């Protein structure tokens, strides 16, 4: 397969909501395969189509570890149909080289999508798992939302971005998340 160019933070495609995929064609299947190759080459666990310059509602995941192998997963036109709970997650992103920050995420979710063969599936990952958090991260990419929009420490994140030659955070894009904030406050 082919290695694709990963788009870096600052490129407008990362803020553009992706378009639905009307049909799972051989072209979409090849894009998914190339995205896996690209993700593995950059030592990632997930990659969304906008991160490789494709304005399509598609992402791939492989949350395997040496101790716990997992299947490769392709999500086409995914939708979260249930979410609850909250947690703080340490995240990075292939579009933000060397930047890792704490973000707010739901601890439980159920997602519905199509697979690489066009079959609809529903998945409820283990609460708080890497898979659960990665689904939210990659699905955000399809909606023009970035992990920095869920941040806990804006000024610390800005310093990391500057240190790595990336643009500063636009404060107007930080998501108000009163439901997550309330759950997190109650758990302290």
- Which amino acids are annotated catalytic? 138
What whole-number distance in Å separates Cα of residue 163 and Cα of residue 92?
15
Q: Give the CA radius of gyration of the chain.
A: 16
Specify whether the CB–CB gap between 95 and 9 falls below 8 A: yes
Decide: residue 74, CB within 10 A, 0-12 exposed, 13-18 middle, 19+ buried: buried
- Residue 151 pairs in a beta bridge with 103
What whole-number distance in Å separates Cα of residue 114 and Cα of residue 138?
15
Specify whether the CB–CB gap between 35 and 60 falls below 8 A: yes
Q: How far apart are the first and last CA of the chain?
A: 47
Residue 66 falls in which region: left (phi positive, over 0), alpha (psi -120 to 50) or beta: alpha
What three-state secondary structure class fits 168? Answer: coil
């Amino acid at each position: 397969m082919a290695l694709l160019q990963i788009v870096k933070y600052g490129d407008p495609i990362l803020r553009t909501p992706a378009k639905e995929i009307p049909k799972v064609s051989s072209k979409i299947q090849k894009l998914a395969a190339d995205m896996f190759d690209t993700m593995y080459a950059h030592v990632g666990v997930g990659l969304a189509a906008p991160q490789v310059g494709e304005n399509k509602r598609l992402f791939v995941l492989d949350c395997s570890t040496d101790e716990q192998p997992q299947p490769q997963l392709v999500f086409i036109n995914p939708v979260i149909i249930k979410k609850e709970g909250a947690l703080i997650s340490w995240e990075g992103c292939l579009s933000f080289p060397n930047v890792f920050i704490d973000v707010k995420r739901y601890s439980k979710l159920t997602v519905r999508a199509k697979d690489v063969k066009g079959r609809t599936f529903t998945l409820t990952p283990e609460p708080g798992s890497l898979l659960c958090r990665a689904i939210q991260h990659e699905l955000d990419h399809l909606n023009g939302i970035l992990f920095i929009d869920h941040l806990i420490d804006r000024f610390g994140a800005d310093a990391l971005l500057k240190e790595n030659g990336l643009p500063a955070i636009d404060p107007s894009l930080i998501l108000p998340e009163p439901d997550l904030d309330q759950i997190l406050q109650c758990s302290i």
